[in-house]
Every structure is written in C-alpha cells, then in structure tokens.
Chain A
Amino acid sequence: MGPVSTTFSRLYGRRGWIALGAFGAVLFIVIPVLVLAVPPGSTFHVSQYWVTLIGKIMCYAIVALAMDLIWGYAGILSLGHGLFFALGGYAMGMHLMRQIGREGQYQADLPDFMVFLDWKELPWHWSGSDQFWWAMLLVVAVPGLLAYVFGYFAFRSRVKGVYFSIITQALTFAAMLLFFRNETGFGGNNGFTDFKRILGFAIATPETRVALFAITGAMLIGTLLLGRYLVTSRFGRVLAAIRDAEQRVMFCGYNPVHYKLAVWTASAVLCGIAGALYVPQVGIINPSEMSPANSIEIAIWVAVGGRGTLAGAAVGAGLVNGAKSFFTQAFPEYWLFFLGLLFILVTLFLPNGVVGLADRLRGARRA
C-alpha cells in the first residue's frame, strides 16, 4: 500500500467510506436531479425551500465540526464561535452588496444603506470588496487573524475552562454591539440583504442554488475528512492529551500553546468559510448572528450529536436544526423551551450524545 491509500484507510473503515459515498451521491446527484430535472408538478420534485434549508444546515454542520475539533478533542469550549461564522458571512456579504451594482432601491453606486446614511463614498474597509478573490481572502483571513491574536494572548496567559468560555462569549457580544452601529459601515441592525448576483449568476435561480448547495456539501465532506485526518494524526493525540492532562504534555516537551493556537485558528477559519457559504443561500446577514445565544446553540449541537466524534457533531447540527425548523413553524413560542430541555436531557442521560447512544444500542444487541 502506498502512503496515500494508507492515509485514506486510516480515516475511515470500509463502511465509513461507503456511507460517505452514499451521502455524496445524494448531495451531488440525487438532489440536483430532483430539483432541476424533475418538473415542479411531479411528486418527486424537490422545491427550492428544501435546497435552501438543507444547504443552511450543512453550513451549520461545518461549524459543528469546527467546534468539535476544539471542544471535543482539545477540551476548549468556545461560546463565541458564532462570531467567526458571522465574520466570514459579512466578508462574503460585502462582496454580494457590491455585486448588486445600480440595481438597488436608490440606483446608486453605493450600497443602499450607505445612500440612506448620506455617505458619499465607500469607507476604507470596503476597498477591494468588489473583487471576488479579495472577498475570499477576507473570509479566511479575518476570522483566522482575530482568532490567532485572541488565542495567542488567552492561551499564553493560560486562561482555561469556564473563564475562557466567558471571554469568548463577551467577545462575540462586543462584536455584535459594534456591528449594530451604523457608523461601523456594516449596515447596522439590518445588515446586508437583497443580493442579486454571485460571480455574475443570478442568485435566486434554481441552478445557482443547486450549485451553492453542492459546493457546501463538498465543503462539509472536505471538513469532515480534514477533521478525521487531524484527530487520527499524532497532532490529534497531542490535542486529546492536552485536554486530559496538560501538565504531563508540557513535561513531555510539547508546548500546549502552539497546539491550542493551531487548532483554534483552524476552527475559526472553518467557521468563516461556513458563514461565507451560508450568506448567499439564506440571503441575509445581520448582527444577530453574533448574539451570545447563537454561539451557545453551536455547543448544544455538538453535545447532542456527541463530543469528540466529528460525524456525531455534524449529525447533531442536523437533528437540532431540523427540529428547530419544524418547531418554529408548528409551535414557535416553545422552541427555546424545547432547546433548553434537550440540552438538559442530553447532559443527564446521553453524555456521549446520539452517537454514544447508537454505540450503546449496538453493544446491547451484540451482548
């Protein structure tokens, strides 16, 4: 076996690859065909509503994977991951705003909200935003740099556990307040919306939707495989060792600061990418994405799915958000109660989440 094939067989066993292949086939073949090729009258037709919903949930699943890398493996609970997601979304949103061109309400060169504020030219941080490559760079660099700088000081000062979680929560809250202000130049509480085009394609056509959906699916699978690679490498074993006995790791000669910083920054970048994929599909980004509750919800997805399992985290994001879209339509006022109850029940009875439950059932059947 060559090194490449051993790397693949290290990531998942036969059944894992088959499951992943089936998932990919549904994402890249079945759903696109049902949306684009099957006529709208047919019972097999899948509407754009579902494409958007599943696409959105897949973005959340990427965030859950990023969260599981730092929480499940490195033992760092972030309650501010919504910030990195939103920053990626804003970077993409700025570009989409520029792509509107003169088709806005005011038919001006500037985005509508700037005309409304009576601004005469673009603020400095909008320069370059008309270029797609620049927007992509910001999607990765802004969350990455912020996470790196924040993490450098936090980890070097050995801020840990609940203190770290609280600081991340404060960080996202502060950013939310900043983005709410009109002067910051991010559209205030309305954020960005009414996008028209992406890379020249009309953003609302079924074809563009399916393309965004497929790209998100590919990113999700890519993130899962990257995560598996990381956690099955010696790097991943060092991370888990830091989680369980940081002192011993230091006295073995590893510097935990570097390891935490690496996985923390990577996690933030993944969130930024997820946010950038989310915005064109959902069609809006505003500061509420940075609200503390949003970030806490991310932790709940991972807890429900199963910490330290990767695939479980993605499944958790799917389950909770699937339930959310059902509940918020059927019983809108009860959703938050249900979410809180879910978190309590999972913590009490399913410490290893849904994946842990599945393992236990399988074990019981065998016994």
Chain B
Amino acid sequence: MNGVALHATAGGGAGEGSLRRVASGDLDTAHGVVLYLDEISVSFDGFKALNKLSLAIDVGELRCVIGPNGAGKTTMMDVITGKTRPDAGKAFFGQTIDLTRMSEPEIAQAGIGRKFQKPTIFERHTVFENLELAMKADKRVRRTLFARLSSAERDRIADMLQRIRLVEVADRAAGLLSHGQKQWLEIGMLLMQEPRLLLLDEPVAGMSDEETERTAELFLSLAGKHSLVVVEHDMQFVAKIARTVTVLHEGAVIAEGSMERVQNDRRVIEVYLGR
C-alpha cells in the first residue's frame, strides 16, 4: 500500500528526492519525465484544435497551462486521458506507456486522474460512496460483486474525508453539497485513485476566496509526490501556485517559463493577457 504518499503535509512540495517508486502499471520515469506529448495534432471538421503541440511534464512537477478560450486546453486533456484520439503525434506516460492506444479506463488505471471543468461526482451516492468508488482497487466486474471494505480501506476513506473537510457530510448525498464542496470531493476522488499524474481543469472555478486559498495549499502539498497539470483562468491563483507556466494559443505552445517571464512575453501579451 502506498497510502502514505497521500499524507503529504502542507509545504512538503520540495520533497522530490523522496519520491517512492510505486507500482502503478509499468510506469517508467527513469528519465524524470512523467508525461510527454510530441507534435500532437487534432482537428474537428477542418478546425485545428491542436496543432503540433509538444509538452513535457517532469515527475513531481506542478505545471499550469493557460490560454484564451479555444486554445486547445481541454482537447489536450482529452488526448491525454484517451477521450480523443490524435490525428498525428505521440503521447507517452513515462517512457513506455503509449496513451494513444489505450481506453479511458486503462489510462485511469495506469495512474492518470482527471478533474473536469464542471464538477462531476456521483450526485445520488453519498460522499463516502463517492470516495469508495474512486479508491484504487481491482475494478473488474467480478471483484466488485464481492468487494468488502477492509478496515485499512475504511481508514483511508476517513483520512481523505478529513483532508477534504467533508467528515460531517460523509453520509449525505453528494448532490446536496455546495459547489466548492463538490470541487473538493472531486479532488478527493482523484487522490483516492492514487494517480501519478493529475489533470485539473479549472479546479477553483466557483470557489470562495478561502476555498481557493486552501486549494492552492493543497496543490502545493501534492506537487512532488504527484505530478500536476492545472488548467486555469484565474490568474491570481496561477500566480500563487505556478512554477512553470505553459501558454497555449491556437492549439500550440507559444511560451513556457516562469510566470514573470511569460507575463512579459510579447506574443503572450498580444494574444492573451493584453486583451
């Protein structure tokens, strides 16, 4: 069990050296790269959603991806998670796992978790059940027919409830939560999957300032143990958590670097920040 990896304390983001080799699939990150996109192109009816997009995410990195609407951020996530097949290009998870040949569930099991723009949780299940279903386990039919929660698994769910501050509402239907709580539940579900790479699409949309603050802290504490790709419109939030920022425009990367450098880039100002 690598449940320990979940209990990162706030500020533990620099602990890249202590990264444990977890046995999730055959993920091979010997060269320090967890996700590698090479010249990915996707077009829908002639419209180029992604145009030779290349991107590499290091192990333990927290990367922010920004860009105006239609820049291809969500399509990029769709390609990584198997929802959309690229017309051309390569997408590798670690050195050996070819994402373009896998289905969504296979990619999820290999260790990539995804949070949607609009919180998608199981509204009619309780908060507890949401976490139970997301939890890393054998997810084949005949296992779920006879699955019982072990006490270790119960503890892990309890820990996660604490961490996402939903202990009091554990037995309530998830649909009754506030918007911010739903966002947190979805993040909690992602973490229960124990992914190596988390893709987060606008994770603080609709959150209060305090919730946003706490989310920033959470992400910083996750970096190092997990690799994170955060797509966000909220510049303040990006400025708070970003180390490296990638700017997309018309389906390709136009700038990459620190927030400061990106903010001063002429093309970026032209297409995005300056408008």
Does the CB pair A241–B122 fall under 8 Å? yes
Closest Cβ of chain B to A68, distance in Å, is 16
**Chain B residues whose C-beta falls within 8 Å of the C-beta of A255 in the assembled complex:** 103, 105, 139
Does the CB pair B105–A250 fall under 8 Å? yes
Give A247 to B140 CA distance when docked, in angstroms.
17
The answer to whether A258 and B140 touch (CB under 8 A), given A240-B122, A245-B121, A253-B109, is yes
22 contacts between A and B (CB under 8 A): A233-B144, A233-B145, A235-B147, A237-B125, A237-B129, A237-B132, A237-B133, A238-B133, A240-B125, A241-B122, A241-B133, A245-B123, A248-B121, A250-B104, A251-B81, A251-B108, A252-B139, A252-B193, A253-B105, A253-B109, A255-B105, A255-B139
User: How many residues on the A side are at the interface (Cβ–Cβ under 8 A)?
Assistant: 23
Any B CB within 8 A of the CB of A254: yes
Give A297 to B249 CA distance when docked, in angstroms.
54
Give A249 to B123 CA distance when docked, in angstroms.
12
**Chain B residues whose C-beta falls within 8 Å of the C-beta of A233 in the assembled complex:** 144-147
- The contact string, 1 if C-beta is below 8 Å from chain A, for chain B 117-142, is 00011111100010011101001110
Within 8 A of A (CB), among B72-131: 81, 103-105, 108-109, 113-114, 116, 120-125, 129
Within 8 Å by CB of B113, from A244, A251, A258, lies A251
Give A233 to B133 CA distance when docked, in angstroms.
11
User: How many residues on the B side are at the interface (Cβ–Cβ under 8 A)?
Assistant: 29
Instruction: Supply 11 further A-B pairs (C-beta < 8 A) apart from A233-B147, A235-B144, A253-B139.
Output: A234-B144, A235-B145, A237-B129, A241-B133, A247-B120, A251-B81, A251-B105, A252-B108, A252-B133, A252-B189, A253-B136
Any B CB within 8 A of the CB of A259: yes
Closest Cβ of chain A to B137, distance in Å, is 9
Any B CB within 8 A of the CB of A262: yes
The answer to whether A254 and B120 touch (CB under 8 A), given A238-B144, A240-B125, is no
Closest Cβ of chain A to B156, distance in Å, is 15
Closest Cβ of chain A to B118, distance in Å, is 10
Does the CB pair B124–A244 fall under 8 Å? yes
Give A248 to B118 CA distance when docked, in angstroms.
11
The answer to whether A247 and B116 touch (CB under 8 A), given A233-B146, A235-B141, A255-B105, is yes
Does the CB pair A244–B108 fall under 8 Å? no
Within 8 Å by CB of B122, from A244, A253, A258, lies A244
**Chain B residues whose C-beta falls within 8 Å of the C-beta of A248 in the assembled complex:** 116, 120-122, 189
Give A235 to B143 CA distance when docked, in angstroms.
8
Q: Which residue of B lies closest to A255 (CB)?
A: B105
**Chain A residues whose C-beta falls within 8 Å of the C-beta of B114 in the assembled complex:** 251
Does the CB pair B144–A252 fall under 8 Å? no
**Chain A residues whose C-beta falls within 8 Å of the C-beta of B120 in the assembled complex:** 245, 247-248
Closest Cβ of chain B to A259, distance in Å, is 6
Closest Cβ of chain B to A99, distance in Å, is 37
Give A245 to B133 CA distance when docked, in angstroms.
12
Does the CB pair A251–B133 fall under 8 Å? no
Give A183 to B167 CA distance when docked, in angstroms.
66
Closest Cβ of chain B to A1, distance in Å, is 13
Within 8 A of A (CB), among B40-68: none
Counting chain A CB atoms within 10 Å of each CB, which of B109, B121, B123, B134 scores highest? B134
Within 8 Å by CB of A258, from B104, B109, B141, B147, lies B141
**Chain B residues whose C-beta falls within 8 Å of the C-beta of A250 in the assembled complex:** 103-105, 108
Q: Which residue of B lies closest to A238 (CB)?
A: B144
